[in-house]
Structure 1
Amino acid sequence: MSDRPTGSYGRDRFFQDFGLVLIFLIVVGILVVLSPDAFARPANMIGIIKQASINGVLAMGMMFVIISGGIDLSVGSIVAFTGVIAASLAHPGEYPLIVAIVAPILVGAAIGAVNGVSIAYGGIPPFIVTLASMIVFRGAALIASDGSPVFGVSGAFEDIAGGFVAGALPYLAVYFIVVAAISALILRMTVFGRRVYAIGGNATAAAVSGINVRAMQTGVYMISGALAGFAGLLLASRTVSGSPTAGEGYEMNAIAAVIIGGVSMSGGVGRWYGPVIGALLIAVIGNGLDILNVSSYYQLIIQGLIIYFAVLADVKGKAGRR
């Protein structure tokens, strides 16, 4: 259940701890060699960081859910719905900026709470609950926006995701770093984090030991929903609009980042930094394939194969430890 492996620090553990980092560095090195002028441009690097940051925020929430033994397919639709809400509240002179910031996060957390209660107390499988939510809130986004993007946001709202620290580091990257740091603190240093691993490893044993499994399940879905709402806010700020079609496929990218990052789909195992590197790796590969003029159709195949082999490695690794 712990995110820290035990035993002597040998070759297997080295690759377990740093294998993904090595893969990431190798991929970056190959792309630099293949297209040094385009890939290594500062503007392109900033674009990669921005893309990875929004997916990374989603992936951190998804990490809590998957470590606990669940899945959340609704995050892409939550991004769209909360983005529409944020943009609708961000028209100049109508509401204080804080309203447009807080509202999408609270709405996302509320949707996550509904998902969590339905799963924990209603006994409905996570796949079914979050699939239904994905459909419902995609429809809600379309209704709230009349099927069209919401424009006319204030300059202050645009600056939320559009600015830079010291003219170099995008605000989006700062948000991602802060979310990752808080997630790491929760998972490694708090009772809540240890219980997330416990219920993912064996929910029955966790319940017998006195853990309120239902409350914990509700909590992790609230975290996922709140971070999806935050990602919706950031995406709306970055695109200067709230689009009801935004976030399509984002749930798959978030799940991919978590799985590639070494978090087990069966729950109970995973390091906080895995989804961080996974999100960066997905962004780098997608950007590199675009630069190399690889068709988006083939990119989908490549992403699917990456997920397949990541899950296969997880399954084989577990079989080898039995």
Structure 2
Amino acid sequence: MKTLEKKKFTFTDYWDRYSTITILAIMIIVFGILRPESFLTSSNLIKIVEQSSITILLGLGEFFAILLGGIDLSVSSTMALSGALTAQLMANAGMNPLLAVLIGVVVFGAIIGLLNGFLVTATGLPPFIITLGTQAILRSLVYIITDARAVSGLPASFSKVVGGKLFDVIPVPILVALVTAAILTIFTSKLQCGRNLYALGGNAQSAWYAGITVKKHTILAFCISGVCAALAGMVNIARLAAAEPNAGTGYETYAIEAVIIGGASFFGGIGKIPKVVIGGLIIGVINNGLNMVGVSSYYQQLAMGCLLILAVTLDRFFGASRKN
């Protein structure tokens, strides 16, 4: 009886399993060597995770658009608009903070996602085109609604609870990001509709033949993206104690980078929620580390761009086996 030969462990296998955690480890080691007295302190590491919470939340939403082989460029504008509207409900209308947050996330975020998903399915246009348009529309609405001014005067209880620390130790934004990631992990791994999104992203035509409703699942993916972006908006206004009209400008790039560096494929059907969290942490480590070593913000964007191109290139060449 012939024995089965053990498959050789290749770089492709390594990249598929450990690429994200390897990049994070390398970044921590590099900046730890450059600034050992300040970068590796417990307070700074907690600060990195807290600052990364917004990127992680945006990335979690972006993940579902990319999982379908699309993209959502409106996440940063959704974050800003949801935050501005919620801030106005609390500061100007005197609404209870809990109710205002629920409306901001469940209503504003979900409706924007629903709009994106509906336009994508109804027009048949690429999500890139649709969300590029809604990105501009939503950002314009932020300026109109706020008169291009910061909305301040938020209840102290809101800023203390959402932007504060649990037991004066763990920043609440971290908990919000981790709980959201845990819920979405269960959704994608245990629920049928979550698994259907992988099938739809892998091959939309085969998914349709298998009985998966393409339009409904596409709308669902963009609704999740909108809700996650709105959650990021809540965290942002809580941390700043105000809603800035320019909040989140350019953060859609961070969200996309977090997803792709986290191992998801731009071609759809592949990716895991926990890796998106690590991808968001990588963005936070790079930003924090470069600031500590005194690198200009212009070079930070250069580093992010190079890392994104590298991640997509490696996925193109070494991620092919995952699609076979």
User: Given the alignment of the two structures, is residue 10 of structure 1 paired with residue 15 of structure 2, yes or no?
Assistant: no
Determine the C-alpha separation between the residues in 1 that align with 2:132 and 2:7. 42
Q: How far does the alpha carbon of each residue in 1:112-152 deviate from its partner, in whole angstroms, 9 at most, with x for none?
A: 10100110122122011101110001010001101100000
Q: How does 1:98-109 map to 2 (within 5 A)?
A: 98-105=98-105, 106-109=107-110
Equivalent position of 1:179 in the other structure: 180
What CA deviation, in whole Å up to 9, does each residue of 1:212-271 have, x standing for no partner?
000000000000001111111110111000111101011110000000001000100112
Structure 1: which amino acid aligns with 2:82?
A: T
Give TM-score scaled by structure 1 length.
Answer: 0.94
Q: Deviations over 1:15-35 (max 9, x none)?
A: 422232122122212211210
Question: C-alpha separation between the residues in 2 aligned to 1:319 and 1:22?
Answer: 20
In structure 1, runs of 5+ residues without a counterpart are 1-6
Corresponding position of 2:55: 55
* Equivalence for 1:33: 33
How many angstroms does 1:93 deviate by? 8.2
- On the 8 A contact 2:16/2:319 being kept in 1, the answer is no
- In 2, Cα distance between equivalents of 1:186 and 1:8: 32
Distance in 1 (alpha carbons) for counterparts of 2:30 and 2:71: 33
Seq. identity, %? 36
CA shift for structure 1 position 46:
2.5
Q: Structure 2 stretches of 5 or more lacking a match? A: 1-5
Q: State the partner residue of 2:304.
A: 303
* Deviation string, structure 1 residues 262-282 (Cα, Å, up to 9, x no partner): 100010011221111100001
Cα distance in structure 2, aligned partners of 1:176 and 1:94? 27
CA gap 1:298/1:167 in 2 versus in 1, 3 angstroms: same
Aligned pairs, number: 316
Contact in 2 for aligned 1:85/1:103 (Cα 8 Å):
no
> Match of 1:69, as an amino acid?
G
CA distance in 2, matches of 1:11, 1:212: 37
Residue 230 to residue 141, structure 1, CA distance change in 2 (3 Å)? same
Distance apart, 1:284 and its partner CA: 0.3
In the alignment, structure 1 residue 164 sits paired with structure 2 residue 170: no
Moved more, 237-246 or 45-54: 45-54
C-alpha distance in 2 between matches for 1:74 and 1:232: 13
Equivalent-residue separation in structure 2 for 1:93 and 1:221 (angstroms): 29
Structure-to-structure mapping, 1:1-322, within 5 angstroms: 10-12=9-11, 13-91=13-91, 94-105=94-105, 106-319=107-320
Report the Cα offset of residue 186 of structure 1: 0.8
Q: Is the 8 A contact 1:163 1:171 kept in 2?
A: yes
Q: TM-score, normalised by structure 2?
A: 0.93
Output the CA distance in 2 between the equivalents of 1:269 and 1:190. 17
Q: CA RMSD in A?
A: 1.7
> Whole-Å Cα distance in 2 between the matches of residues 37 and 318 of structure 1?
38
Alpha-carbon distance between aligned partners in 2 of 1:203 and 1:34, rounded to the nearest angstrom: 47
Does the CA-based 8 Å contact 1:256-1:307 persist in structure 2?
yes
8 A contact 1:89–1:99 mirrored in 2: no
CA distance in 2 between counterparts of 1:219 and 1:151 reads: 33
**SS in structure 2 at match of 1:221:** helix
